[in-house]
Amino acid sequence: PGRWVKAMQILKEFEEKCGTPILKLRQVADAMIVEMHAGLASEGGSKLKMLISYVDNLPTGDEEGLFYALDLGGTNFRVLRVQLGGRTRGIVNQQFEEVSIPPSRMTGTSDALFDYVAATLAKFVAQEGSVFKPSPGRQRELGFTFSFPVVQSSIASGTLLKWTKGFSIDDAVGQDVVAELAKAMERRGLDMRIAALVNDTVGTLAGGRYNNNNVVASVILGTGSNAAYVECAHAIPKWHGLLPKSGQMVINMEWGNFRSSHLPLTEYDHALDAESLNPGEQIYEKVISGMYLGEIVRRVLCRMAEEAAFFGDTVPPKLKEPFVLGTPVMSSMHRDTSPDLKVVASNLKDILEISNTSLNMRKAIVELCNIVATRGARLSAAGVLAILKKMGRDTVKEGEKQKTAIAMDGGLYEHYTEYRKCFEGTLNELLGEEVSKTIMIEHSNDGSGIGAALLAASQSQYL
């Protein structure tokens, strides 16, 4: 067959393997629920860690005072201060600063990473304006958002299980990340108490609840992906402590590590995984989250170039570079509605150094982006269905007025409109019209920072 036909065969075959009919999504959700039960039953009982957050009370709105938060977990990290004014005044003032993490700090030593974090935090504190006044004689208190899997032993301690999302610092694994940060703060001469260690999903849930009392779960779709939800304490067999008074416990699912034979995985996914920093792990994350979507597109394009000379006789050298095609570029190509697809053309030229593409080639590339984004978005909707089903909120009972809100955050959800629309459409499709009306998706813009500060407030030593 000719080149074009061969290239279209590769694309078609990929599309077929990425199929996510509703029935399959229901199987994925049910498989996830099975794993949720197993993860709650015993430590190490499942690929889903179902980590106990030690958050058994969510913000009420009464929180008051000046609190800090630090959000470490992606390409950027953020420091934040927030002045909480209690029930009547709410959030009186907030300021944040975002700093990118140098790649060398993501794969070096624990001290190098935490020294960098502590230095940034110290600078932030030193530049404090007069609007933010810590009460005299009072130690500053911090909520530490750390979005990697951690087994906590209390609200303010926990050991790192493993890194994800491109971080790989061997000597930090197995360490208490709160102690690591506290030591770095001490080396820096920064006097601050780490009052709460929270996963970003847990922070997002707390921040979401502060704004909307119906929030019972949170999902992050950013560089990585994860979810948390409010579980009944008595439904956590592996919990051997006293039952919390609230009867509830927030669970950090670490859903990125979910895997199931029902997931539609292709040879490209297997290759991506095998060549990743964490082979065999975070399989669900690798098909739904922002770190990987563009890379999957690149891999398929690469195959089309190699086996069907899609871009001509030679394979464009840039195309062979892992991760050159980021998800933001993918999404800008996907949303290109110009008649001649000029955004696709300019991205191909700028990022991949490919020029002279035909309109049909560019159309095929848009279609490829659509296939990858659609699979990711629909599978993440299946994950949300699993949570709703586990909480018994996937049905409406006669006469009941139950409302359920899910706090969503992450750059992928926020900026990739086609992905978000597909996610929401699929969730409605899975739930049906009646139930969909009771479920609200709340976009929480960086709610995890505020959430961590709120949890620090509820753990304050001055209460």
61 binding partner (options Mg ion, ligand ADP, none; Cβ < 5 to 8 Å by kind): none
Q: Which of 46, 120, 331, 459 is close enough to bind ligand ADP by CB under 6 A? A: 331
412: partner contacted, choices Mg ion, ligand ADP, none (Cβ within 5-8 A by kind) = ligand ADP
Q: What is the DSSP letter of 257?
A: G
Under rule CB under 6 A, residue 225 binds ligand ADP: no
Q: Report CA torsion sign: 216, 222, 225, 226.
A: negative
- Closer to ligand ADP by Cβ: residue 83 or 223: 223
Residue 244 binds ligand ADP, judged by CB under 6 A: no
Q: How far is the CB of 145 from ligand ADP (least distance, A)?
A: 9
C-alpha–C-alpha distance, residues 201 and 451, integer Å: 9
- The residue from 56, 176, 200, 409 that is catalytic is 200
Answer whether 168's CB lies under 8 Å from 185's CB. Answer: no
Q: Is 123 a catalytic residue?
A: no
Q: Does the footprint of ligand ADP cover residue 412 (CB under 6 A)?
A: yes
Contact yes or no for 176/195 (Cβ under 8 A) = no
178's tokens: 């709160």
The encoded tokens of residue 64 equal 């008051």
Q: What is the C-alpha separation between 56 and 407, in angstroms, rounded?
A: 18
Do 301 and 319 meet the contact criterion of CB atoms below 8 Å apart? yes
Structure tokens at 164: 């994800």
Q: Which residue bears the tokens 């030591």?
A: 183
Nearer to Mg ion, 222 or 290 (CB): 222
74 binds Mg ion, rule: CB under 5 A: yes
- Given candidates 290, 383, 447, 449, which one binds ligand ADP under the rule CB under 6 A? 290
Q: Closest approach of Cβ 236 to ligand ADP, in Å?
A: 27
DSSP string for residues in 165-177 = TT---GGGTTSBH
CA 229, CA 249: separation in Å to the nearest integer? Answer: 8
**Is 165 labeled as catalytic in the residue annotation?**
yes
Which two structure tokens, joined as six digits, stand for 325?
């095609």
Query: At CA 315, angle to CA 319 and CA 416, rounded to 5?
Result: 30
Residue 207, interface with Mg ion (CB under 5 A)?
no
Question: Judged by CB under 6 A, which of 158, 256, 410, 447 binds ligand ADP?
Answer: 410
Report if residue 158 touches Mg ion, rule: CB under 5 A: no
341 in Cβ contact with 360 (< 8 Å): no
Q: Which is nearer to ligand ADP, 291 or 368 (CB)?
A: 291
Partner that binds at residue 316, options Mg ion, ligand ADP, none, CB closer than 5 to 8 Å by kind: none
Residue 208 binds ligand ADP, judged by CB under 6 A: no
Residues that bind Mg ion in the complex, under the rule CB under 5 A: 74, 222
Residues with catalytic roles: 165, 200
Residues that bind ligand ADP in the complex, under the rule CB under 6 A: 73-75, 222-224, 290-291, 327-328, 331, 410-412, 415-416
